[in-house]
């Protein structure tokens, strides 16, 4: 199995979007912190105006698209990893590069 790709979420930014290359295809990803829910969410899009799946919660220990079938999704698997092993929801600054909770993609 190939090494996972860590999705480069900046833990300092509560709302962000960027392009990511996965398995030779470009995908546009959006991440945001919902203050009311106190939870992180993300969306994956073909272009900034063409959503594939939106408002997916960041839940440690879970594969976000496991239950969805859509040919536009990347062929690999996303996994939300909690380095503590406790699978606890990340707080505002605990999700992203170098943080306790990260989003990985296995192509």
Q: pLDDT digits over 36-78, tens only?
A: 999 999 999 999 999 999 999 999 999 998 888 899 999 999 9
Per the CB < 8 A criterion, the answer to whether 73 and 52 are in contact is yes
Q: Which residues contact 75 (CB under 8 A, 6 or more apart)?
A: 23, 107
pTM: 0.93
């Amino acid at each position: 199995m190939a090494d996972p790709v860590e999705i480069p979420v900046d833990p300092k930014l509560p709302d962000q979007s960027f392009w990511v290359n996965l398995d030779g295809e470009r995908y546009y990803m959006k991440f945001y912190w919902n203050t009311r829910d106190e939870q992180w969410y993300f969306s994956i899009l073909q272009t900034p105006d063409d959503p594939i799946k939106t408002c997916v919660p960041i839940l440690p220990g879970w594969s976000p698209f496991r239950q969805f079938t859509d040919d536009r999704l990347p062929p690999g698997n996303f996994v939300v990893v909690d380095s503590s092993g406790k699978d606890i929801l990340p707080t505002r600054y605990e999700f992203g590069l170098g943080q306790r909770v990260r989003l990985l993609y296995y192509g």
